[in-house]
Chains A and B, each alone.
Chain A
Amino acid sequence: AQRVTQPEKLLSVFKGAPVELKCNYSYSGSPELFWYVQYSRQRLQLLLRHISRESIKGFTADLNKGETSFHLKKPFAQEEDSAMYYCALGVNQAGTALIFGKGTTLSVSS
């Protein structure tokens, strides 16, 4: 069965520290992977897609098929990065839905 695991409920770091939000997935085929972010009182929005290999707001994520991971990284955290982050898995098949992890709250303090 497809599954997404985000092992940390809460990650607290100081401003300027590196950040890594972990995401592991379970899927035997070729996955689509996404990171979504929800800032306080805002709607959930797409942060990154693995297929586009972009860097958004300083965040990057690399798909590691061997380790079935898609960790989100940022070298220097900012206070405005404080938010809830969800990793999501899509299977490339019509008529299917994204599977979300349980989310990690990132708290960046000064």
Chain B
Amino acid sequence: DVKVTQSSRYLVKRTGEKVFLECVQDMDHENMFWYRQDPGLGLRLIYFSYDVKMKEKGDIPEGYSVSREKKERFSLILESASTNQTSMYLCASRGSGTQGYTFGSGTRLTVV
């Protein structure tokens, strides 16, 4: 019954590594989103995509990039991981209309 799948639940990476976080949805949704969730800061939007190969910066895009080559897959890339990118990363998708989001279970990334 899982509709939004994030490939890793926990990741530990070293400073300077290039990190890929993968997200796949099976609901044929046009819109996909990446947020990071930090205590006391809530959910902050990193990037989103409203169509294949389209992307829009969110509130905190610095240090991140994204890729959406297929409708069902939206990847978040940390070009050179830093310790301040240690966080919970949440992927979500949304169809058209006034539906809410469906979230993945999250990836807890630790950069050491």
Q: Which residues of chain A have a CB within 8 Å of any CB of chain B? A: 6, 9, 32, 34, 36, 42-46, 49, 51, 86, 88, 90, 92, 94-95, 97-103
Please, could you name 10 A-B residue pairs with CB atoms under 8 Å apart, sorted by A? A36-B100, A86-B43, A88-B100, A90-B98, A92-B98, A98-B101, A99-B45, A102-B41, A102-B42, A103-B42
Chain B residue at smallest Cβ distance from A46: B100
Q: Which residues of chain B have a CB within 8 Å of any CB of chain A? A: 31, 33, 35, 40-45, 48, 50, 56, 58, 90, 92, 98, 100-106
Does B100 contact A97, Cβ atoms closer than 8 Å? no
Does A9 contact B40, Cβ atoms closer than 8 Å? yes
Chain B residue at smallest Cβ distance from A4: B42
Does B42 contact A45, Cβ atoms closer than 8 Å? no
Max chain A CB contacts within 10 Å: which of B40, B44, B56, B100?
B100
Does A100 contact B42, Cβ atoms closer than 8 Å? yes
Contact of A97 among B41, B58, B102, B106 (CB under 8 A): B58
Contacts of A34 in B (CB 8 A): 100
Contacts of B50 in A (CB 8 A): 94-95
Report the 7 A-B pairs with minimum CB-CB distance, sorted nearest first: A102-B42, A100-B43, A46-B100, A44-B103, A43-B105, A95-B50, A97-B48
CA distance A92 to B94 in the complex (A): 13
